[in-house]
Structure 1
């Protein structure tokens, strides 16, 4: 892909997520809708990152990349981290700043590109991304950038998944929908412009066939992270989210290849 093609794709991705900002927090899997889910996220972060304040009182710095409306930033803030959220959508940042003001948090939200942060070398103790890697145009460049801004011994936590490859549940849901349509019990809903845009973008990102954990881990190792470990135990989070989804949608989400990857800068 040419450099100009990459630039145009990045522009499209930014515009797409800016458009999504209006309703982003309305969807389960984006905003937190229960204390059960909030505690499940806290448990995941503590399991891999520890708390934000060390025994000697040192406050650790955290960078939330593609911070969106600030959901992950606030979860890290709950644990005592000094948090910076970075996003390249002004619409997302506006919502994040409003939320931060309402909750009286001291989170900094900055406009920036997750693949080229312009943050200082060795400046963060932890970096967290949620559902960012699968959208990256150049993940190798991004991983090298994240390694650069982490302090030695710092940790990167990637929460992501393969949202492309069909699962047994998505196949069943599609089969049932086609059957109900065939017998006249379900009408076909026309594809929205938003869905068309999403599909077009997905076809051109690096992980267009799905961001599988093993492929992401290999790229992280090539970037210089060591060790790199994968945690597939996302059950508590999925269980909490599924209470706010329909049965079929909840089962489909639970069947997806979702994971948390923790990578350390030597």
Structure 2
């Protein structure tokens, strides 16, 4: 195969997969990805319970499960969890973590936009920080509806990481200034400059390149066939428990972002 043909066949979804495969090595070092305190873990448990209740043996599918952070939260609450990710390095770390913690979570290779899972199979489908990366959210949401049991629940945790408000911009500038001056705690490195440029390039070409606003996501969910769509922007407890991992201005900047959870249901019949 020629180089030209290889480049033509290497599309945006391949770039996304390659990017997260490379990020796997440092993924768990970043606050907001892994959980660094029992207080934060408890805050996540309360958010999940608020929208899904306790697991009680119900089946949950964690899409784009990464290193298994959300899968473990669901397992904590009594769900029977399957984690699906398409990046081998992420899956390797997820499986290793599950073995170390003696969890029975099943981690499998799979595409969150085309899961190949059975119809009407899961009581809950969950994902965190996936929606903003979707190439075709309408098709993905239809797929998630398909694999849910009638009456099953979708829980999305995501945000608009493109549009910034005045407070966020101010706090980000103060954080950057304080770090340069050596006065404030430095951010956890999230990769090389080249990886940061790759991230920007990908973000500019996904469906939500202008930002994944909650109301826009909710509208696409309704058009896909979901009902009882509710937006929850009260993530204050999670933000509060994460804040000690950053300097004060970085924490305030994150708190100012448009972050949310969306719960939606598959019609019961």
> Does the TM-score normalized on the shorter chain lie above 0.5?
yes
* Offset, 1:170: 3.0
Counterparts in 2 of 1:150-169, with a 5 A limit?
A: 150-169=148-167
Q: Please, what TM-score do these two structures have when normalized by structure 2?
A: 0.89
Distance 1:180 1:39 in 2: 31
Equivalent residue for 1:56? none
Any stretches of 5+ residues in structure 2 without a counterpart?
1-6, 183-191
SS in 1 for 2:154: strand
Equivalent residue for 2:222? 221
* Offset, 1:166: 1.3
Query: Are 1:121 and 1:148, in contact at CA under 8 Å, matched by a contact in 2?
Result: yes
Equivalent residue for 2:61? 63
1:220-248 CA-to-partner distances (Å, cap 9, x unmatched) read 00000001001111011010111111111
Structure 1 139/185 Cα, relative in aligned 2: closer, same or farther at 3 Å?
same
Counterparts in 2 of 1:1-266, with a 5 A limit?
A: 8-53=11-56, 59-173=57-171, 175-176=173-174, 192-266=193-267
Equivalent residue for 2:185? none
Over aligned residues, Cα RMSD in angstroms?
A: 2.0
* Offset, 1:178: 8.6
* Offset, 1:79: 0.4
* Offset, 1:84: 0.1
Q: Please, what TM-score do these two structures have when normalized by structure 1?
A: 0.90
Query: Are 1:227 and 1:264, in contact at CA under 8 Å, matched by a contact in 2?
Result: yes
Distance 2:176 2:16 in 1: 31
Query: Are 1:6 and 1:137, in contact at CA under 8 Å, matched by a contact in 2?
Result: no
1:88-137 CA-to-partner distances (Å, cap 9, x unmatched) read 00000000000000000000000010000000000000000000000001
Query: Are 2:175 and 2:250, in contact at CA under 8 Å, matched by a contact in 1?
Result: no
SS in 1 for 2:227: coil
1:144-196 CA-to-partner distances (Å, cap 9, x unmatched) read 00000000000000000001111223321455579889xx969xxxx810110
SS in 2 for 1:68: coil
Query: Are 1:167 and 1:252, in contact at CA under 8 Å, matched by a contact in 2?
Result: no
